[in-house]
A and B are shown apart, each in its own frame.
Chain A
Amino acid sequence: MKCERIRTSFPEYIGGSLNPEERRCIEKHLSECEKCAKELASMSEMWAELGRITPEEPSPSLRTAFYEKLETWRAHTVDESLAEPVRLKRSGMSNPFIRLLAVSRPVLAAACLILGVAAGMGIERSATPRRDVAELRKEVTELHGMVTASLLNQSSAIERLKGIALSRQLKEPGDEVLSLLLLKLNSDSNVNVRLAAVGALSGMSDLPWIRAELVASLSRETSPLVQIALIDLLAGLRETRAVEVMRALSLDTATNETVKKHARWGIQQLL
């Protein structure tokens, strides 16, 4: 019975959370009971071995997705708090779909435009079946790119974030969209937009010049969050040109301590 009671304290004993008196009591018992001492040894070893497992880290896209979602949540909250009471009083529109319409006006406008053009082209195709389908697809893609570029140029951060989200759906973003994404990464005043731009550009990083731009961005960036996202991305891409920039960051006294640590980790990954 005594053994059983003592053993239930083993996890706490190993974890170091027992008070000195309880520890002494256990140690006294261990000196007299070989079986308990053996069990504690096995359990201690297991506990130590568990501590050697390094938990995996999430992908950089988790951070990007979180900040995008947070920005969307804020926009919903602001829109609802400003517009909804009046609208609900006037017309009793409590339907969530109506609320969604109000919140996402620019995106819906863009979607309607794309749908309209696609439908128009469909009608035209049925009338002239020999029209080149590939050409029509190209036109829709171009239109998609135009809408993306338009959203990226909006003054509202939430619209720019929507533009970045739309850019991710483009299979082959044109030079204009790529340039705008880089512009957002390098000069947008909103840190969440810059973070989202890192996420979007990660999907286009097979282009060597984009990688070079990402390295250059890391040397200019001042926000720790964006710096960390860029280090994660460049380390994941095995972009060795980033080593010097990471080294400079890790040595710069003005760099945030977490970023310094991350930069050192990045260098280890790349060397």
Chain B
Amino acid sequence: MLSVREGDTDKLGVLFERYHKNLYAFFLFQTRNVHVSEDLVQEVFFRMLKYCHTYRDKSEFRTWMFAIARNARIDHYKKHAIENGHTVITESIESSDPAPDIVMERENDRAVLKKALYMLSHDKRELIIMARFNNLRYHEIAALLGCSEGALKVRMYRAMKELTEIYKRLTGGNCHEMRKNQDIVS
């Protein structure tokens, strides 16, 4: 990023190759719209060019990049006034081939889990996405949200607890592993 700030815009391509999938996942889990997510990924990289002077030598790059990403998403929602993004989706059908039962069951579990994730409030969902899918560390997330690590721990715990409860409710109180154990016993 320092090279980009000094005018070597070729290096933005390197950053793009390294981080665009990570950012895409961040946006897709929140907007659930492939087109919007791709547009927002591009927006992040061009905001990096525009605001590269705000990047400090000792800044943590990922924290700075995700701060831009969060702002881009907030601006998008403001512009389109769709806080909960009930828009076109997304989840592609990867194969039309009939899958074996076990694969179907696992796919079904994941579909339910995604549903549970989307039923969380936006703030809680974002926390889980950043920690689980973007692999951000606690101190990075706390810096992004402008809160202490202690406060973040509490928020993360509440988010995970709620997700677990929603998932159990959707699966009738049984999670996949529990069902598997029951299958073995029977």
A residues adjacent to B (C-beta < 8 A): 7-12, 15, 17, 39, 42-43, 45-47, 49-53, 55-59, 61-63, 65-67, 69-70, 73-74, 77, 225
- Of B51-59, B66-74, B126-134, the one touching chain A: B126-134
B145-171 contacts to A (CB < 8 Å): 153-154, 156-157, 160-161, 163-164, 167-168
Q: Which residues of B contact A66 (CB under 8 A)?
A: 16, 20, 41-42, 45
Quick check: B175 and A45 within 8 Å, CB to CB? yes
**B106 CB–A CB distance under 8 Å:** yes
**B85 CB–A CB distance under 8 Å:** no
Can you name 16 A-B pairs with beta carbons within 8 Å?
A42-B164, A43-B160, A45-B176, A46-B167, A53-B113, A55-B24, A55-B29, A56-B90, A58-B24, A59-B34, A59-B38, A61-B38, A62-B24, A62-B41, A67-B13, A69-B42
CA distance A74 to B109 in the complex (A): 47
Interface of B is mostly: helix
Interface of A is mostly: helix
Nearest B residue to A42 via CB reads B164
Quick check: B113 and A58 within 8 Å, CB to CB? no
Nearest B residue to A50 via CB reads B132
**B17 CB–A CB distance under 8 Å:** yes
Quick check: B160 and A58 within 8 Å, CB to CB? no
Q: Which A-B residue pairs are the 7 nearest by beta carbons?
A: A55-B25, A58-B24, A8-B157, A11-B156, A62-B38, A46-B164, A8-B153
Q: In the complex, how many angstroms separate the beta carbon of B15 from the nearest chain A beta carbon?
A: 11
Quick check: B110 and A52 within 8 Å, CB to CB? yes
Quick check: B132 and A51 within 8 Å, CB to CB? yes
Q: In the complex, how many angstroms separate the beta carbon of B30 from the nearest chain A beta carbon?
A: 12
Quick check: A46 and B163 within 8 Å, CB to CB? yes
Quick check: A10 and B157 within 8 Å, CB to CB? yes
